[in-house]
A = this chain, B = another copy of it.
């Protein structure tokens, strides 16, 4: 069995610079890098965002797509690689839209992370600091995202919150 690699959680609000910050963490490792995309581009707005992010990353990434099940992609990685999973929020949203049981889905997701041989950086959204949403689905998503973030943070070696592009260390060693 492999020695478990470092797991880093990068949390932030929408447009907080969390993905760009996570990419700098990945690049600083100097290891061959894998981008594990969870987004599904349903519409033009989303596709434009996905394309813009890919352009910003540049060509030195192997891109894998796993909107629903991250296990096959993660289990194929090697100990000398580093993987950026961007992001847990899109994955969770995809599972909710697929009407999956979210507690079971979370267990599988966490197991897939634990079974990955590569160093991991996982990006996730903070969605619970606004006013209570009107519709029940949004409230259910908010609670599921909160539970997932808590579970990810508990398993992470380092947790960093990004605010306006600036890092705030919530857990683990200083940068």
Contact = CB atoms under 8 A, between A and B. Distances in A.
Q: State the main secondary structure of chain A at its contact with B.
A: mixed
Interface string A140-175: 011111110110111000010101111010110000
A12 B153 CA distance: 15
Contact of A131 (B133, B147, B154): B133
A146 B14 contact: yes
Interface stretch (A26-34, A109-117, A122-130): A122-130
A53 to B, nearest CB: 12
Each complex incorporates copies of this chain amounting to: 3
A138 interface: yes
A153 B165 CA distance: 7
A41 to B, nearest CB: 15
B153 A13 contact: no
Contacts of A170: 163-164, 166, 168
Contacts of A168: 168, 170
A170 B165 CA distance: 10
Contacts of A147: 15
A167 to B, nearest CB: 8
A13 B147 CA distance: 12
A16 interface: yes
A72 to B, nearest CB: 27
B126 A131 contact: no
A129 B127 contact: yes
